[in-house]
Amino acid sequence: MSDVKQELIKYGKKLVETDLTKGTGGNLSVFDREKQLMAITPSGIDFFEIKESDIVVMDINGNVVEGERLPSSEWYMHLIQYQTRDDIDAIIHAHTTYATVLACLREPLPASHYMIAVAGKDVRVAEYATYGTKELAVNAAKAMEGRRAVLLANHGILAGAQNLLNAFNIVEEVEYCAKIYCLAKNFGEPVVLPDEEMDLMAEKFKTYGQRKLRG
């Protein structure tokens, strides 16, 4: 899983470089559906200090099968998605600024900008639970049903896709939409696009909104 571990390190650094998280805030994982194994970033290590040997590999039941480090404290929040969904093979959790502002307000992100379609018709807020708990994992999975992102109350954002490239894209676009929404609220009430338009966006984004890996 060397390539996968390199990708996790790459996108962990990218989260910090693009100001989508701070310090060790956040975690990333990739699921090998054929082998039923999850590779996840370790707990409490700066993204710029993580080495391949620090990445932890777990089986579908949550047992560590490779690695000496402790997995991210949020490992079950990742694993439950792989256990219950077949459209997600990569997950990113980050402490982005504007999405977290909405999460602290317990305010869902509506379709005030069409780019929210990368995540769904809107982005819900999961009920609050202490970080690293199974309760938070269950709350996040429930609020993320039918969506590819969820706001974690008083915490941050969780996003999933078929690979890290697209998971990162979702985090980036949701944060952009959250920023636009927060700024627009200063001047009035943002106009929310109707469900019919978002249904159309969902169809168009099956190709437009998906970033493709280069060969």
pLDDT for 211: 63
In a domain, 210, yes or no: no
pLDDT digit string (tens) for 33-85? 999 999 999 999 999 999 999 999 999 999 999 999 999 999 999 999 999 99
Residue 110 burial by CB count (10 A; 0-12/13-18/19+): exposed, middle or buried? middle
Cα separation, 138 vs 185, whole angstroms = 31
In a domain, 43, yes or no: yes
In a domain, 26, yes or no: yes
Q: Which of 121, 109, 129, 128 is nearest to 174 (CA)?
A: 109
pLDDT for 152: 98
pLDDT for 80: 98
In a domain, 87, yes or no: yes
Compute the mean pLDDT over every residue in the chain, rounded to the nearest whole number: 95
In a domain, 101, yes or no: yes
Catalytic residues: 74
What is the percent of the chain with per-residue pLDDT over 90, rounded to a whole number?
91
Q: Domain tally for the chain?
A: 1
Quote the DSSP letter at residue 128.
P
In a domain, 209, yes or no: no
In a domain, 104, yes or no: yes
Q: Which of 61, 62, 126, 63 is nearest to 93 (CA)?
A: 126
For position 144, which CATH number holds?
A: 3.40.225.10
Which helix (H) or strand (E) segment is 195 a member of? helix 195-204
Q: Which residue has the tokens 């060969």?
A: 215
pLDDT digit string (tens) for 6-38? 999 999 999 999 999 988 889 999 999 999 999
Domain that holds residue 171: 2-204
pLDDT for 215: 47
